[in-house]
Amino acid sequence: MKIAIGSDHAGFNYKEQIKKWLIEKGHQVRDFGADSDKSCDYPDFIRPVAKAVAAGTYERGIVLGGSGNGEAITANRVKGVRCAIAWDLRSARLSRAHNDANVLSLGERMMAISEALEIVELWLNTPFDGGRHLARIQKIDAE
């Protein structure tokens, strides 16, 4: 899978570890930054991830910050992006199965790296269940 990834300074360490894990699993990954844990403005790195996913250049995106909230808000401002915050396996699974989320937002301060990797793996492998949700999502994307 082609995956875009980006973070601010507060999500930098997990971004680096998740990126390495994704590459080891055979995914193609583009890192949109940040390039260190030095304080920075998250929209500078999150918006390009969201735009790349919305354009179809990447199948999925992963964005990271301290809590993941600001990153999700920023990503969801891009038409065609459905970014979900996941703080556990259940929220990750439901974001894919029910919402067809194409961008995942994680908070480094909210979980251990082992949990973050479990969330990413489940999120990448959970299909959208379609059904009654599909028409609603397509309508929202068209607006």
User: What range defines the domain where residue 112 resides?
Assistant: 2-142
Q: Look at residues 122, 136, 132, 117 and name the one whose alpha carbon lies nearest to residue 17.
A: 117
pLDDT at 129 over 80: yes
**What per-residue confidence (pLDDT) applies to 40?**
86
* Domain total in the chain: 1
**What per-residue confidence (pLDDT) applies to 41?**
87
**What per-residue confidence (pLDDT) applies to 136?**
64
pLDDT at 69 over 90: yes
**What per-residue confidence (pLDDT) applies to 135?**
63
Query: At 5, is the secondary structure helix, strand, or coil?
Result: strand
pLDDT at 138 over 70: no
Confidence of residue 134 (pLDDT cuts 50, 70, 90): low
- Active-site amino acid positions: 71, 98
pLDDT at 133 over 70: no
Output the pTM of the full model: 0.91
Confidence of residue 131 (pLDDT cuts 50, 70, 90): low
Answer whether 116's CB lies under 8 Å from 65's CB: no
Distance CA(93)–CA(76), nearest Å, equals 19
Q: Which two tokens stand for residue 60?
A: 């999925």
CATH code of the domain in which 50 resides: 3.40.1400.10
